[in-house]
Structure 1
Amino acid sequence: MSPFPEGSLSGGAAAENGLAGGEMGRGGRYEASGGAGPSLNGVSLPGNRLYSLLPDEGCSDKESMRRLRRCIVAAAKGFSIGAGLKGGLALFAILSRLRSRRISASLRKAGSLSNAEAVSAALQDTLRYGLFLGTFAGTFASVDEAISALGGNKRTAKWRALVAGAIAGPSMLLTGPKTQHTSLALYILMRAAVLASRCGIKSKRFGNVCKPLTWRYGDIFLMCLSSSQILAAYILKQDSLPPSYMSFLKKHGAKDSSILDGVKDIANGSALTKLNAIENYYKSTGVDLKLDPNMKLPCPIIHGNQSCTEHALSFFVQAYGRALPVYLPVYLVPALIVHRQDLLERPYTILWKSLIGTARSSLFLSVFCSSAWVWTCTLFRLFKKCSTPLIILATFPTGLALAIEKKTRRMEISLYCFARAIESFFTCLADAGYTVHAGRLKRADVVVFSFATAIIMHCYDQEREVFRSKYLNVLDWVFGVPPSLEKDSKGQS
């Protein structure tokens, strides 16, 4: 389920400033390495000194401009990525909405937005996420440069990015100050945990402890765990999932709320109170269905007059059509950003790979959604009953669909889902009285997000090899990387 990207900004800073005998820092900053120091136009400058933003420093004007340029360009590029990705997803969603010719009565009662309202909301979200990533990038670059200027490049190298990442974290508030973004914060925390585990694996001290994390099929197992919680909550505990994610599940689960309520009633052993609503729903689709109030298996509720096999095949075809608009922007928008240079040189190759990736990911999502109903019907008929434990058990193997995806994307998707599964799981525990609701902890999401971004940016600055090349390319493009480090920016393949 989907579900969340080369150049150098400051590579020529040293040449432009005419500096010699020094060392270029990781962020393109320059610091003299000792001795009599570098010279500028025949004038000897003090050694062991960083050229800062102060006006009385040698070459301060050019260095100040370089620092300022880095901060502004980082903010602009961060904004372009945030607005581009969010705007691309919103555009495809709006186009899909405009092409839809039928809106069910249940959606109208739920107060769905008009087309104009949907466009306005999409534009606002696009602007918010653009400002969020733009502010994050600009804040990180500014704090990084300020600490480097005041404390020295070498002296602060080990912790500077950690602090800058933590300070930039509260920029997440720009996505919506009144709404807690627990899912986003947990997802970024999962990403930070993966990077930290990679650092631990290559560490002599923690290598043996982190060795289980190298399990080949760990990503698929994690997806199965996530699927069990998410899909069970989709049927039994919908309010434990974020509204936006629940909307995504409703679209791709493709079942009316009355159908889900009917399955839930049978699983809980409750009286079937939604039979009329279910029959009316099927009648609106041209299916004349009469349900037995004493039924023990919910198969007629799930797929009407179709058999389980017929439903699986027809659902799969429809699910594939719903999945394509989801993954087109996921592949095409990053292709325009990450592979922008290759796109000019070999456009057909890049576009072909993007289309193949779209087709493959759409196949994953359609198999994932259709297999969820296949497994539930199979276990219901096998055990001749429907219960909460059976639903949890039946949705576990649904995660095996992740094997269809490209290996490099599997962990990405499993972490995305695992973050939502964790949020749903603890919400269920809180509703049962075992824990405190996350909503009562004001802005805990910002604290978690800031902690995670501190780890991620520290790894980016000090442990670059733990990043995969495509993510490292995006970070380098946004924050800049000096030519002396370009050879290290390949990361993991």
Structure 2
Amino acid sequence: MAQMDERLLFALRGIRDGTWVYGKDTGNNDLLGNYCVDLGLSYHSGIPTRGRIPCRVVHGGQPWGCEVHALSRFIKGFIKVFLLYFTVHLTPPLLFKRSKLAQNPVGSLQHILKASIRSSTFLATFITLIWYSICLTRTRIGHQLLGVNQKILDDTLGPLIGSAMCGLSLLIENQHRRGEMALYVVPRALFSLTERLIGPWHRRGRWWEPKLAEMMEIIVFAGSVTTVVGAMYKEKEMVRSSARGILGWIMKYELKEESSEHLK
């Protein structure tokens, strides 16, 4: 959704791992040089020996500055994602709440449109914040105001501050969606943490490591499914409405039998 050219991404990774160094020819001139030509800029604009990567290159050739680039990213992101979110918010009522949708189609459609606009604004803001935070860090504040070393701005501070600031876009979503986002993000954060801590030992290639990892995945998955299915039988209110609707449809006969036994 951020529409970032992979050549720019590879250049940033090169700055991080030392294969792209400002002020030196490391043999990677063609990486951003050809990208600049594609943008209608000179080949020399993307050569590391010329110094920092110009903002215009980061902006995909857009010449009107960081603020205009951030605004254009917001508009493009909103338009691109709106249809996706509209489908996401429309599908559950069509599948599980058709009677309510038929009784009040105008009110239901207004609610779906409002939720779609809010979610689209969230993701567009997410994209805008990460782009503009990096621009502020690497250019407006870090380079122009404070004169910080450009390598530090590009390989550490820019990505760090951009990644931290973009999370604030979640405040646009309602409380219910924030909880869903937390459940989506936390496992990935744990994976990233464990990969950094355990990765050096895991990559030694011992035969039992893949088998142990697979077994642990199965145990965690089985425990998670057992918890959710158990809640459907005993305390259905603990399950989120979206998951409850899907599981209720899948397990409708089992839940009916359970209810009948309780009545007896």
TM-score by length of 1: 0.42
User: For 1:419, which of 179, 184, 187 is the aligned residue?
Assistant: 187
Is residue 2:70 matched to residue 1:302? no
Q: 1:392 is matched with which residue: 160, 163, 167?
A: 160
Give the direction of change, closer, same or farther, for the CA distance of 1:463–1:256 in structure 2 (3 Å limit). Answer: same
- In the TM superposition, 1:109-128 aligns within 5 A as none
Matched, 1:258 2:11: no
Deviations 1:38-57 (A, max 9, x none): xxxxxxxxxxxxxxxxxxxx
Correspondence for 1:281: 35
Number of the residue aligned with 1:293: 48
Partner in structure 2 of residue 453 of structure 1: 225
Q: Is the 8 A contact 2:11 2:20 kept in 1?
A: no
The structural deviation recorded for 1:423 is 2.4
2: CA distance between counterparts of 1:452 and 1:313? 41
The answer to which of 311-320 and 374-383 deviates more is 374-383
The secondary structure found in structure 2 opposite 1:254 is coil
CA-CA distance at 1:452 after TM superposition: 0.6
Aligned in 2, Cα 1:389/1:280: closer, same or farther, shift over 3 Å?
closer
Matches within 5 A, 1:296-445: 296=52, 299-305=55-61, 306=63, 307-381=65-139, 382-383=141-142, 384=148, 385=150, 386-390=153-157, 391-431=159-199, 433-435=200-202, 441-442=213-214, 444-445=216-217
- Greater radius of gyration (CA): 1
2:98 and 2:13 mapped to 1: Cα distance? 49
Is the 1:262–1:301 Cα contact (8 Å) retained in structure 2?
no
Unaligned runs of 5+ in 2: 22-26, 143-147, 260-264
Taking a change above 3 Å as real, the CA distance of residues 478 and 271 of structure 1, as seen in their structure-2 partners, is closer
CA deviation map 1:192-241 (0-9, x unaligned): xxxxxxxxxxxxxxxxxxxxxxxxxxxxxxxxxxxxxxxxxxxxxxxxxx
User: Is this contact kept in 1: 2:94–2:101, CA < 8 A?
Assistant: yes
Higher relative contact order (CA 8 A, sep 6+): 1
How many Å separate the matches in 1 of 2:155 and 2:188?
Answer: 20
Aligned CA distance change for structure 1 residues 458 and 435 (closer, same or farther; 3 Å): same
**Are the aligned partners of 1:338 and 1:470 in contact in 2 as well (CA < 8 Å)?**
no
* CA-based RMSD: 3.0
How far apart, CA to CA, are the structure 1 residues paired with 2:53 and 2:115? Answer: 38
Closer, same or farther: CA 312–472 of 1 in aligned 2, 3 Å: same
| Contact in 2 for aligned 1:324/1:359 (Cα 8 Å) | yes
Report the CA distance shift for 1:288/1:334 in structure 2 as closer, same or farther (over 3 A).
farther
Cα distance in 2 between the residues matched to 1:300 and 1:274: 19
* Cα deviation, residue 363, structure 1: 1.1
Deviations 1:292-347 (A, max 9, x none): 42324563442155322121111111111221233132112112112111122222
> Which residue in 1 is equivalent to 2:145?
none
Shift of 1:456: 1.3
Structure 1 pair 484/374, CA: closer, same or farther in 2 (3 Å)?
Answer: same
The 1-side partners of 2:258 and 2:19 are apart by: 68
SS at match of 2:48: coil
Q: C-alpha offsets along residues 261-299 of structure 1, whole Å, 9 cap, x if unaligned?
A: 112222344335544233433433545562342324563
Residue identity matched to 1:354 = I
Name the amino acid aligned to 1:259: L
Q: Which runs of 5+ in 1 are unaligned?
A: 1-251, 486-493
* Greater helix content: 2
**Do the aligned partners of 2:233 and 2:258 also contact (CA within 8 Å) in 1?**
no
Between 1:279-288 and 1:386-395, the stretch displaced more is: 279-288
- Per-residue CA deviations over 1:457-490 (Å, capped at 9, x if unaligned) read 12222233323445434433332355997xxxxx
The number of equivalent residue pairs is 233
Deviations 1:59-104 (A, max 9, x none): xxxxxxxxxxxxxxxxxxxxxxxxxxxxxxxxxxxxxxxxxxxxxx
Q: Relative to 1, partners in 2 of residues 1:456 and 1:374: Cα closer, same or farther, differing over 3 Å?
A: same
Say if 1:421 and 1:349 are closer, same or farther in 2 by CA, change over 3 A.
same
Give, as a single letter, the amino acid of the residue that structure 2 aligns with 1:389. Answer: T
Report the identity percentage: 25
> 2-side partners of 1:387 and 1:284: how far apart?
23
Residue identity in the other structure for 1:477: W
Paired residues for 1:139-158 under 5 Å: none
Structure-2-length-normalised TM-score: 0.75
